[in-house]
Each structure stands twice: as C-alpha cells, then as structure tokens.
Structure 1
Amino acid sequence: MTHTAVQQLLISCLLSIGLIANPALAQSGLPDIGGNAFSTLTPEKEKQLGDVLMRQTRGSLPMVYDPLLDEYINDLGNRLVARANDVKFPFKFYWVNNKQINAFATLGGNIASHTGTLAISDSESEFASVIAHEIAHVTQRHIARFVEAQNQRAPMSLAAMLGAIVLATVNPEAGMAAMMATQGAAQQSAINFTRGNEQEADRIGMRILADAGFDPYAVPEFFNKLTQQSRFVNQQLAFLHTHPLSQARVSDTRLRAEQFPQRYIPDTQDYILSKTRVLARYQYPVKETVEIFQRRLSQPGGNTRANLYGLAIAKLDNKLYIESQKIIEDLLQQDPHNLYYVDVYTDILLGQSQFKKALEMLEQEYLLRPNNQVVTLNYANAAIKAGSYRLAVHLLRNLLYVKNDNILAYDLLSDAYKSLEDYAKYYETRADLFYQLANYPKAIDDLNEALNQLGDNARLENRRLEAKKQQLQAEFERLKRM
C-alpha cells in the first residue's frame, strides 16, 4: 500500500469516529492526557500540531494549488471567522481535488473543502454554510473535547490509538495494522459524541453564517439537497459519512433558520467565477467542457459572463487558443483588471509563445497589486517561460517572504534556479518544498545535495545550510520518537 493510500485510509478511519483532526497529534508531540480539555490541548499546542498535520495532508491528498481558488476560499473563510467567537488563532482554508461533497476541519484552524462541494452548491450561502459549520467545529474545540472524553473512558485505549497514528506517520504499514487493532472498541461511543458535535456545529455555524451576511435558510436547503441526492446513489455521499445527517437534524436546522428574517442575499462575482472555474477545471472531463459550456450559453438566460468565462477556460484547456483569446479579450474589455480573466489570458498568451505581451500586461497588474499571489505567480511563470529567470526569482522570493507556505511559489522558484544553473539554491528550494509537504527524508536529502553544490569558499552559506539541515533532522527525530 502506498503512503498516499495509507493516509487516505487513516483519514477515513478517523472520520468514522469523529477524529478527523487527530492525526496532527502524531506530528509534533502528544499532549499530556488528563485534566480538562483546554489543558489537555492548549490553543498554542493545537496550532502547532495542526500546522504539521496540514503539511502532511498536503503531501498525501490531491490538493488544489490554484491561486484564484485559494484567494476565494480564504477571503470567504476569514469573512466568516471574523463573526465567530472563541477564535484562538488564525485560520487557513484549503481545497482538495475531489468531486464528492465534503469538507473537514483539523486542529489549529485548518479547514479543507472538496472542490465538489463548491460545484454542487446553488448559492454562495450554501457553500458558506459548510465552511461556517467547520469553523464551529474548531472554535468549539471538539477535537480536544473528544480527547478528554476518550481519556476518561479508556486512557490506555486512547494512548494506543494515538500511538498508532504516530506510527502511521513514520511507518505507514505498521501504523495501519495498529490502527485497525485499536479502533473498534472506541467506535460506538465516539459516534455518539460526534452527533453531539454536529448539532452544536450546526447551531454555532448558522449564527456565524447569519452574522457574516449570508442566508441561514441555506443550511436546511443544502441538507435537504444532500438527503435527496443520497437516495439516488448506491453509496452514501462522503459528506453524510463524515457528518451524520438525520431527519431530526434537518428539521432542527429548518426551525433554527426560521428565527432569522428572510432576505435576498445575492451571490458575489468571485463565488460565481470560482464555481465556474471548478466546474471547468475539476468537475467535468476536459474533452467535454467545450460542449458543456456551449450548451449552457445556448439555454435561456445562459449567456452570462460566467459561462463565457467557463467556455474560455474550456477552449484554452483544449488548446483552442485563438477562440479562447477572442472570448477573454471581450470579457477584459468589460472588466480590465479582473484577475480571473487575467489569469486565463496569461495562459492563452503563453500557449502561443507571446511572452512579451504577457509580461507587459502582468507588469502593469503587478504595479497595481504587488505581491498579490495570483498576479505574482502568473508574472513569475511568464518570466520563466520568457527566459527572464532573475525577474522570476525576485518576484517569488518577495512573495514567499509574506506567504512562506505557497507551494506553487516554491515549485516555480526551484525551476528558475535550475534554469540559472544555481544548483545549491535549486536543491535548497526543493528542500523547502518537501518540508511544506512534511516529507522530511526528501527535504534532508535535498539539503545534502545543496551542500554538495557549494564551493570551497562558501563558508557562511555552508554553515547556514548545515544549521537548517540539523533543525529538520531534529524535528524529524522528535516525530519518530513519539
């Protein structure tokens, strides 16, 4: 079994007992078992563990590294977080490339949504309701409370489970054997605990949703949609596996929504274009997208900017550059600095080797929005394609200074260094990239390669890289000792 398969199975096991966030306990030191939930897992420890878990998750699941979608989900998520109580740390939001409807929260304010959740939503309030629900799981400290409850029931069983999660991180095959041996006994009581968590997250999440200016009636509408869909498939929807949905729960959310005044909440343009982007790039087969969006445009009321944008993406991805360019240039005339359009236009120009035109356009956008990740990553990518490697290095290093976990930035930066034949920097940047994916052995190997590339006179650089390598080795050894 591959490490990715093990990680997915591990997450599946944890979801079934309400422990989606607890693999993080494997990553950076187990908390003391005992005392109340807050002392068992302090916010500081929770943030530390959650960050390591998220890095491991990014190295194991099919994450989406799309700067436009990243900007959208983080803007939406933080708009909701701003209306939540008991926020202990900054939140981060991620995408998993999966057509099934689901979302999950982990320790430390890390929340991920499947692309399928956005694709199936009929309004921004529906999608926001899912994110608000996951935010409530974090702010109500459901994982810490679960750890405390399990400790009171069976401390040794919980310790064995946590040990199995640790083992699964360092030795996947042995870890899964231990997990399967320890999971069963605690499963039923954990399911009951999870149902209580779900009800509380429904209640808190709906309040967050309404306070942030979204429609609370979207919650029962979305739940009703899920129950209707699950009747027509052989297997229950992923969301319903991880978020048990009874008829009583649906009724409860409907009654709660009725406490709020009904009002029309229009969808934002970012939601509409983000959903279109997901449909075109992650939901439909590439070869069918042109026909799908042409059909949408031909339907009554279908001649919208969103469908034109989707058709432009579809033609671009099918290498119909001239046709795509005509559509996107018309859209840019109406909204010249729309980054959704700028992003597609950049790829069209690069696909036709029009590097100078792409660089001139992106230079102007960069002057307007320096270090915006959408602009910077497009600009750096265009610079690499055009052979302006030092410009790309300058842009990417500045971006990583303010956003040091950007996977695409590390990937592009390593390409730029390789093209410059600066192999010490190339291997160091690859090490940084593998660290962001929690692949410690590969990161350490690449730091060794970076050291091998240094000349005899690079003493200060040698010391810096040696210190960096030792820090990674120490962190990795701590994980293996848990």
Structure 2
Amino acid sequence: MALNTLPDIGGNAFSTLTPEKEKQIGDVLIRQTRARLPMVYDPLLDEYLNALGNRLVARSNDVKFPFKFYWVNNQEINAFASLGGNIVSHTGTLAVSESESEFASVIAHEVAHVTQRHIARFVEAQNQRSPLTIASLLGSIILATINPEAGMAAMAASQGAAQQSAINFTRSNEQEADRIGMTILAEAGFDPNAVPIFFSRLSQQSRFVNQQLAFLQTHPLSQARVSDTRLRAQQFPKRFVPDSQDFTLTKSRILARYHYSTKDALIIFERMLTEPGGNTRANHYGLAIAKLDNKNYEEARILIEDLLKQDPYNLYYLDVYTDILIAEKKYEQAKEFLQQAYLLRPNNQVVTLNYANVAVKSANYGLAVHLLRNLLYYKDDNILAYDLLSEAYKAQEDFAKYYETRSDLFYQLANYPKAIDDLNEALNSLKPDARLENRRIEAKKRQLQAEFERLQRM
C-alpha cells in the first residue's frame, strides 16, 4: 500500500490550490467518497471507463495530473468531477446513452471542468469567504450525487455563499466545458453532434417528469445552451462513428447487472433479441448474464460458449464463463481455462481477479496470494484484490498478513480508525521472533496515525 503524503496546508487549506495540492486532496476525497457511495467494483466496467476517459484526456490540453474514472451504482443520469482529476459516472448515464459518442460527451465535459480548473477555482473562491474543510467538501459531493439539488444547496450554505450555487451552476463554466469538451470529443474520434442530440433528449425527458433529472440539476440546460451546442457541432466535419464492441457489451452488462432487476433483465433481453436488428452479440451477452443471475446455468453456458467460439479472447465472455463454472463448482475446468488466459495477459485485472477468485474457491490459496500481490504491485487501489487477498490469508491462517491486508483495504476507503485497529491486530498476530515485520508494521501504523491526525485538521 502506498500511503499518500497529505499536504501541510494548515488553516489556509484551499487558499492556493496548486496542482500538487489539488491532486493530494482529491485522492483523500475520492477514497472517502468510495466508502460512502455505492461504488461499482467491476473490473470490466473499470477498464472500459478508464480506457474511454484516458482516450479523451489524451486529446486534452492543460492536463496537470493523471485522471481516474469511477462508477457509482445509480440509475439516475449524472456524472461529476472532483478535485485532482477524479471523475465519477452513474451507471444510469451509460444505460440511457444511445451511442458511445453520447456517453463520451458526458465524460469529455467533466474532463474539461478539471483541465480548466473550474472545481479548484471555485473551491479557492469559496474558501476566501469562509474556511473550507475536507468534511464540508465531501458532504457536498455525496449529497450532490444522491440528491443533486440538496447537495448544491449544502455546498453553498456550508461555505457561506448562499447566493452562489456550486461550480456546475455557473453559466460561463458550463459553456466553457461544453466548448472544450466538444473539441476533446471530436479530437478523440467521436461525433460532436452527439452533444446536442443527448442534450435535446434529456431536455425532452425532463418535461414529462415531476422532478428534474439529476444531470440537469447539476448541469442546468437551457434551450439557448442546446442551440449553442447544435451550432457548435455544425462547425465540425460530419462523420459516422460506429459504437465499439466494448461499448455495446458494457451497456448490456450495466443493463443486466445494475439497471434492471434480475427477472426483468431476462425478459428484456429475450424481447430485444426478437426485435428487428436485435440479434446481436451484445444482446446474447446480456441474456447470458441474465440467465446466470437467474441460476439458469446450463442455458447461460450454452450462450457464452457460442460467443467464445466467435471471439475466444474476449474478456467480457471470459468473465461470465468463469462465473458460470464457479456457480457449477467446476473449479478445475475454470482454473485450466484461466491459466491459459493469464499466460496471454498476465497484468490484466479482469483475468487476474477471475483467476485468483477461482484459486480461492478451489482452496489453492498460495496461487491466489501470488496473483493478487502481483496485481496490487501496479494497481494498489484495487478493492476487489485486497478483499480476495485477505480471504486467502485468512484461509491460510496467516493472521498477521490477513489483518495487514484488511488495514490496506480500509485505508483505500479512508477508514483510518479501522485501518489502525487492524494494524494493531497484525502486530499482535506476529510471532515473537518476527522483529523486522514488527518494525515495518509499526512504522506503517505511525504513518497512518500521522496522516489521520493531519486529515482531521483539514
């Protein structure tokens, strides 16, 4: 685990947010956010969103730090950017996007908010009126994604600026994010016309519901703004941008796992396959997930094996096929299947996590530990990896490592008291002659305690 070094910012914590400070504070905020929102820890969705997001970032100017992208399990259409290049999308945003360019337009808009430092400048301005705390910022972020209207009001009130709404309510910042986001979108190879199309559909939808859509509460959408994006899109060459297969499979996965109920997903995908143009791999994939989740294992396996014949290296199919084999308790077959995939993609989190999960299920704990420690070496914020690794250590009755790994997991969720408690348990579980390990864990505990104390002062 790589502990963050918090900035020593004292009483004027947010008066001048350098990119370095913004990144450090943003990392704390996103860890706290992950602990308090229903985040989605799905390696396939994670890989898709971060690949798409970084494709957009690569076409952006004024990028000051690496970006990270996260999912919240929420059917509302919304996305938000936080400090330090952390961008969060609701699963509902992709579920209603009718093209990949539409979904990419939402992410490009949030990227533009970050690169133009709208959030950082807003925080600095608010802090000049009334000193900010990490807690007030976090509370506003949480409320904003659960109840956008209340969240924005809370942010304004807690920061002593009731007359001014949060960053996304300022017209000039929204217009700038629209303009720069559309340029990013086009440069990344997507269709700029997706912006006015998506906006127009949202605007139409909001007319027929009693409560305004979450996206429109945090990103106010006037007719002038829709018209402006339409005129701006006409300045770009017309192009047809087909959806990638990863987008269509990701959408099916979100619809089956996070948007519809288990029973409804089965009915919906069966119906979509009978509609004109609906006999697609993505709909077969969605149906396979629905059948798996409804415990129709044999039917699910037939569907996914057929898809694997057409595309044997597809990670989406690999993941569902592994889940089916685990559900059927065919652990050895799953291990053989994943061993080959791991040889081809040793650093891929989808393959590694599936392989480690099968290793744990089949009581091959040494293999699981080896796989997961390698994964965490280059992806040290992976919640699923920490969870599986702690399970493997517990099964091995290696309680010192079990508690230390649980401490790492709680650190990733910004639960410092629990992380420190588990390090104490790790120390108590060490053998008397394990002096080096004792000193290492003691040093780790002191670092955590110092970081927690400094965070409490922010």
Question: Could you state the TM-score of these two structures normalised by the residue count of structure 1?
Answer: 0.88
* Identical-pair percentage: 73
The separation in 2 between residues aligned to 1:163 and 1:289, in whole angstroms, is 40
* Alignment partner, residue 351 of structure 2: 375
Q: Give the counterpart of 2:162 among 187, 190, 215.
A: 187
**What secondary structure does 1:95 align onto?**
strand
Q: Give the counterpart of 2:130 among 154, 158, 162.
A: 158
Q: Give the counterpart of 1:242 among 218, 229, 241.
A: 218
1:34-433 paired onto structure 2 within 5 Å = 40-150=16-126, 155=128, 157-159=129-131, 161-162=132-133, 165=136, 182-183=157-158, 185-190=160-165, 194-433=170-409
The separation in 2 between residues aligned to 1:428 and 1:191, in whole angstroms, is 39
RMSD, aligned α-carbons: 2.2
* Alignment partner, residue 447 of structure 1: 423
Cα distance per residue 1:126-169 (max 9 Å; x no partner): 00000000000000001222134345xxx3x321x447627969
Which consecutive residues of structure 1, in runs of 5 or more, have no partner in the other structure? 1-26
The separation in 1 between residues aligned to 2:270 and 2:341, in whole angstroms, is 30
The separation in 2 between residues aligned to 1:84 and 1:252, in whole angstroms, is 21
Which consecutive residues of structure 2, in runs of 5 or more, have no partner in the other structure? 1-5, 144-150
Q: Which amino acid aligns with 1:115?
A: T
The separation in 2 between residues aligned to 1:181 and 1:391, in whole angstroms, is 51
Please tell me whether the aligned partners of residues 31 and 41 of structure 1 are also in contact (alpha carbons under 8 angstroms): no
Change (3 A) 1:445 1:166: farther
The separation in 2 between residues aligned to 1:345 and 1:428, in whole angstroms, is 32
Please tell me whether the aligned partners of residues 417 and 426 of structure 1 are also in contact (alpha carbons under 8 angstroms): yes
The separation in 1 between residues aligned to 2:327 and 2:7, in whole angstroms, is 44
Q: Which amino acid aligns with 1:395?
A: L
The separation in 1 between residues aligned to 2:139 and 2:266, in whole angstroms, is 43
Cα deviation for residue 32 of structure 1 reads 7.2
Cα deviation for residue 436 of structure 1 reads 0.2
The separation in 2 between residues aligned to 1:108 and 1:279, in whole angstroms, is 30
**What secondary structure does 2:162 align onto?**
helix
**What secondary structure does 2:102 align onto?**
helix
Q: Which amino acid aligns with 1:383?
A: A
Please tell me whether the aligned partners of residues 413 and 429 of structure 1 are also in contact (alpha carbons under 8 angstroms): yes
Change (3 A) 1:250 1:29: farther
Please tell me whether the aligned partners of residues 101 and 116 of structure 1 are also in contact (alpha carbons under 8 angstroms): yes
The separation in 1 between residues aligned to 2:157 and 2:196, in whole angstroms, is 36
Change (3 A) 1:435 1:232: same
The separation in 1 between residues aligned to 2:280 and 2:188, in whole angstroms, is 27
The separation in 1 between residues aligned to 2:166 and 2:369, in whole angstroms, is 50
Cα deviation for residue 232 of structure 1 reads 1.5
The separation in 2 between residues aligned to 1:370 and 1:55, in whole angstroms, is 27
Please tell me whether the aligned partners of residues 290 and 311 of structure 1 are also in contact (alpha carbons under 8 angstroms): yes
The separation in 2 between residues aligned to 1:226 and 1:458, in whole angstroms, is 61
Cα deviation for residue 475 of structure 1 reads 0.4
Cα deviation for residue 191 of structure 1 reads 5.4
The separation in 2 between residues aligned to 1:158 and 1:184, in whole angstroms, is 6
Q: How many residues align?
A: 442
Change (3 A) 1:422 1:308: same
Q: Which amino acid aligns with 1:121?
A: S
The separation in 2 between residues aligned to 1:333 and 1:213, in whole angstroms, is 30
Moved more, 194-203 or 437-446: 194-203
**What secondary structure does 2:70 align onto?**
strand
Question: Could you state the TM-score of these two structures normalised by the residue count of structure 2?
Answer: 0.92
**What secondary structure does 1:187 align onto?**
coil
Please tell me whether the aligned partners of residues 125 and 216 of structure 1 are also in contact (alpha carbons under 8 angstroms): yes
Change (3 A) 1:140 1:295: same
Cα deviation for residue 309 of structure 1 reads 0.3
